[in-house]
Structure 1
Amino acid sequence: MRTASADLLAVRTITADGSDIYLRITSSPVDLEIRWFRDDDHRVSGSPVLFPAGDSARRRIGSNFRAGTTFCLDVVGGTGTEDVWCGVVDWNVYS
């Protein structure tokens, strides 16, 4: 399992077939909606997943990715708060 806790919006690469993507928000002052998208094509993306403020549950935001897939995260929050959150992303894991 690969985990990143810095620069959550950076490009990541799936290395194993059938991999899933999970996210756990560790701190956010507002509700956030987060989705994955293919880093070279924003039209290819997952559905937004709601992360309520103060809820630190780990949620799956995508599944069954092929090896070699690259992805980024897209976040929607309250005005001006999109950069005021932190969390942990896990990928190359299976459900």
Structure 2
Amino acid sequence: MLEILDWIIRIARYYEYAIIIYVLMSWLPGAQQSPVGRWLGRIVLPYLNLFRVIPPIAGIIDISPIVAILAWNFAVSGLAHLILLLV
């Protein structure tokens, strides 16, 4: 059971890294339109779009990816604790 938990946490970390990379790609012109950017967008955007309802601060700074990562970490931590309760 602990091996399953280890795999879940590892996959969750990779997804978190994908979110961070996709957000950082927005700083580079045309990076999100590259093949890698489009591939990451197909993976990451469905989750990030859940948090796009949060308006940007001062119309410029979008904090929705930060909230999305915090929610992702909270969910993974909760799932890990639930699995540990069953062991």
Larger radius of gyration: 2
Normalising by the smaller structure, the TM-score range is under 0.3
TM-score by length of 2: 0.24
- Greater share of strand: 1
- Greater share of helix: 2
TM-score by length of 1: 0.23
With a CA cutoff of 8 Å and minimum separation of 6, indicate the structure with the bigger relative contact order.
1
